[in-house]
Amino acid sequence: MIGELRVLRSLCLIGLLSLSGCVSWFTDEELEPAVHLVKVEVVKANLLEQRFTLHLRVDNPNDSDLTVRRLTYKVYLERLLLSEGEHEHWFTVTPHSSRFFKVPVRTNLWPQIRDVVKLLRKPERPIPYRLEGELEIGLFIGQDVHLKRNGVIIPGDFIPE
């Protein structure tokens, strides 16, 4: 009876020690990737339609590959919602590196033309912009990385002479 009790204790101890290694499977030691707005390129701009390309960079600080699946975004010019949408483009960022990608953006500012004209009265004056969104990452189990970037643009830089 005492021998069986010792065997049972030993088996329980071995089981607990072996399960302690499994705990590391469920801890989240991965660092969150960084997303940067590198450039805004004007593709076409007329009265009824404006097309831009957002140039973004994703930095992977981790030791494993990072799979990017989708970007959901909203772009604001001062307080005006310029555009919102989704860009589904799968790509992989290798460990400890960066990857650039482009997001095409279309908008129609006609309904907000008065507010836009007020912003453009002084083309040399900087106008604040804001990019908000979520980057969906992960191959099988998805995770959302929240994105919020602020900056200014100078409209005069985009007006051809």
Rounded-to-integer distance, Cα 146 and Cα 136, Å: 9
Rounded-to-integer distance, Cα 28 and Cα 4, Å: 40
Q: Give 3-41 pLDDT, tens digit per residue.
A: 666 766 765 556 655 655 554 455 557 788 998 888 888
| Nearest one of 146, 131, 148, 142 to 32, comparing CA atoms | 146
* 31: Cβ contacts below 8 Å, ≥ 6 apart: 61, 62
Amino acid residing at 40: V
Domain extent for 72: 28-157
Query: Does residue 102 contact residue 87 with C-beta atoms inside 8 Å?
Result: no
* Domain-located, residue 14: no
CATH number for 32: 2.60.40.10
| Nearest one of 93, 122, 87, 119 to 106, comparing CA atoms | 87
Looking at the structure of the chain, the number of domains it has is 1
Q: Give 34-84 pLDDT, tens digit per residue.
A: 988 888 888 998 878 889 899 999 999 999 999 999 999 999 988 899 899
For the chain, what is the radius of gyration of the CA atoms?
25
* Domain-located, residue 136: yes
Q: Give 106-128 pLDDT, tens digit per residue.
A: 988 888 888 888 888 888 889 89
Q: Which stretches within the chain are classed as H helix?
A: 2-20, 113-120
